[in-house]
Amino acid sequence: MDDVAALPLAAIDPLNDPNVQNQGPVNLAASGTTLPVQNNSSQVLQPAIPAAVIQPGSSRQLGSILAIAAALSVNVGKVCQKRGTQDLPLLQCNSTVLRMYVANYWWLLGFAMDVGGALLTLTALAMAPVSVVQPILGCGPGIVAVFSYFLTSDRLRTSDWAASGLCVLGTIGVGLTSVDSGGGPEEMFVSVAVLLLLFFMLSATGSEMMYRSRLLPLEVASSVSAGVCFGLSACSTRCGMKLAAGNGAAAPLAPLLGVAGSLVLTSTGFVAQTRGLKDGRALSVVTYSNLIALLVAVIFGLLALSEPLPQTATGLAGRVVALSLLAGGSY
């Protein structure tokens, strides 16, 4: 052991020998040399951090893209359903009437696109706030205006095109003035959510009663009912996601309950809107229902889901202008 300790470093480490370094690569296995291994507990290898890390902003952007695809699918589906209902009776829970609807090519195509758009909406709501997704879905009047011109007998006036443009600008403005929560905790007020749910459902029931009393046309009453159902459908999915983030006993079942409630509400709104499309213009029905759905989602998101408002004066002014454009275009 003393002889080994007395040897110079080059004798036991070929990498430090100048003669060996000039001879090219060294085969340590062939030379039978074992290099000492340094065990330094203070140096701990850390796993490499991937270059592309998914940030909350990227998830929000992907949710917005999916919401755009959902808006396109849903609203083109509405136009196809309008094309189909021109030759069909009013939708009723009657086996003969239901078979006529299912046998109609245009209505069935619109139904499939509507369902596909609903699934895309659920996915978008899992990635972005409801106050961002629902305004994007409100761009429907512009889509309906274009496709109605080519697929249905509806002929739009100049005022109709102008109103569609105002609605599109308003929905884009609401989306642009939406803000993130900043990574802070998002609290859900269950009592407020229940009260808002009762208020909106009573509003939908009241519109139906006014139609039966001949105080409202079917076009408007169906649009109100459909808009309330569509807006609450988006809120139901978001509520399930928030409850799942908690530590309560119902957390594991919350997403399933939220999606189940969303499917029931979407189906109910679909039936109500189909009734309105039978006798009313596609543009009017979609515009009214989208406006109601937007108001329901924004009010529910702010009061029950604690989604933030713009913090700057410019942002607040932009939000007010956007909502004014929506109201003016819908009127």
Average pLDDT for 305-324: 79
Per-residue pLDDT for 45 more than 60?
Answer: no
At 286, the pLDDT band (50, 70, 90 cuts) reads confident
Closest by Cα among 233, 211, 236, 231 to 221:
211
What confidence score (pLDDT) does residue 97 get?
81
CA 118 to chain centre: 10
CA 84 to chain centre: 28
Contact 135, 176 (CB under 8 A): no
Contact 326, 166 (CB under 8 A): yes
Backbone angles phi, psi at 98, to 5 degrees: -65, -40
Task: Retrieve residue 214's tokens.
Answer: 């001949």
Task: Retrieve residue 25's tokens.
Answer: 């690569």
Instruction: Look at the pTM and tell me if it is higher than 0.75.
Output: no
Q: Per residue in 188-223, pLDDT tens?
A: 678 888 898 899 999 989 988 998 888 888 888 888
Separation of alpha carbons 162 and 142, rounded Å: 10
Contact 170, 329 (CB under 8 A): yes
What percent of the chain clears pLDDT 70, i.e. is strictly above it?
A: 72
Gyration radius (Cα) of the chain, Å: 31
Average pLDDT, the chain: 74
What DSSP character marks residue 128?
A: S
Residue that is written with structure tokens 């090519």 in the block: 105
Q: Which of 15-19, 150-154, 288-292, 322-326 has the lowest mean pLDDT?
A: 15-19
Q: Which of 23-32, 71-80, 129-138 has the lowest mean pLDDT?
A: 23-32
Average pLDDT for 137-155: 72
At 4, the pLDDT band (50, 70, 90 cuts) reads very low
Average pLDDT for 12-41: 49
Q: Per residue in 230-265, pLDDT tens?
A: 888 888 877 887 777 765 666 677 778 888 888 888
What confidence score (pLDDT) does residue 43 get?
45
Per-residue pLDDT for 57 more than 60?
Answer: no
Separation of alpha carbons 76 and 330, rounded Å: 19
Separation of alpha carbons 26 and 14, rounded Å: 8
What confidence score (pLDDT) does residue 44 get?
43
Per-residue pLDDT for 7 more than 70?
Answer: no
Q: Which of 9-18, 65-74, 304-313 has the lowest mean pLDDT?
A: 9-18
Task: Retrieve residue 107's tokens.
Answer: 């209505």
Contact 261, 271 (CB under 8 A): no
Average pLDDT for 46-52: 38
Q: Which of 21-30, 156-165, 184-193, 229-238 has the lowest mean pLDDT?
A: 21-30
Per-residue pLDDT for 162 more than 70?
Answer: yes
- Dihedral in degrees, nearest 10, Cα atoms 227, 231, 237, 243: -140
Give CA separation, 131 vs 87, 90, 167, 234, in Å.
Answer: 37, 34, 16, 10
